[in-house]
Amino acid sequence: MENYQKSKTVEKPSPLPFTNLPPDIIEMKVKDGSKIRNLMGYAIGKMESDAMRQVLFSGAGKAISKTITCVEIMKRRMKHLHQITKVFFKLIEEIWEPIVPEAGLDPLTVKRNIPAICVLLSKDPLDTQEPGYQAPGSFDAFWLETLKSESQGQSPEARKARQFSP
């Protein structure tokens, strides 16, 4: 590949993994260079109005972690949001041109599948049977259940010893 340079990257459009979305839904397309402050300012401002009931965050590749961060900030700021998360792949085509056109080399097209995520947040209840569903406040439930089961499985002496050990 030392004789080639990347000339263009084309992201093939793929349908959203959600069906039956309202036509006026806010879709926050998170990119690697997006500023979280700007994304959250806009999304929270829209969701605080009573008319807006849902927001959709999506990101691919390096932007996945930033997308999840935005979703978690939104859930902490606005309690009682229902969530459905979908993970999928996006097709990316990279066009590579020869550095020296007279060398007799043809342009190359490289197709890659990159991971992507789509998270739907809703003020209204969503289908609880849908894979990827999280109920409002469910992020605390796991840790509370874990602490409860740990404390029930140990004797009072073991709990005290654990409490006072560094």
For residue 7, pLDDT over 60 is answered with: yes
Helical pair 36-47 and 64-77, crossing angle rounded to 10 deg: 40
Query: Does 18 share its domain with 79?
Result: yes
Q: Tell me, what CATH number does 117's domain have?
A: 3.30.110.20
Residues 16 and 47 in one domain: yes
Q: Based on the fold, state whether residues 96 and 79 are members of the same structural domain.
A: yes
Q: Which residue has the higher pLDDT, 158 or 18?
A: 18
User: Which range of residues forms the domain containing residue 140?
Assistant: 136-166
Q: What is the mean pLDDT of residues 2-10?
A: 91
Q: Are strands 133-134 and 54-60 parallel, antiparallel or unpaired?
A: unpaired
Q: What is the per-residue pLDDT across 89-118, written as a single tens digit (0 to 9) for each?
A: 999 999 999 998 877 899 999 999 999 999
Find how far residue 77's CA is from the centre of its chain: 17
When divided into structural domains, the chain yields a total of 2
Whether residue 60 is predicted with pLDDT greater than 80 in this model: the reply is yes
Q: Does one domain contain both 106 and 146? A: no
What does DSSP say about strands 54-60 and 26-30: parallel, antiparallel, or unpaired?
A: parallel
Tell me the average pLDDT of the chain: 87
> Residue 64: what pLDDT?
97
Q: Are residues 49 and 19 in the same domain?
A: yes
* Long-range contacts from 139-145, C-beta under 8 angstroms, 24+ separation: 139/75
On whether both 87 and 144 belong to a single domain, the answer is no
Helices (H) and strands (E) in the chain, counts: 4, 6
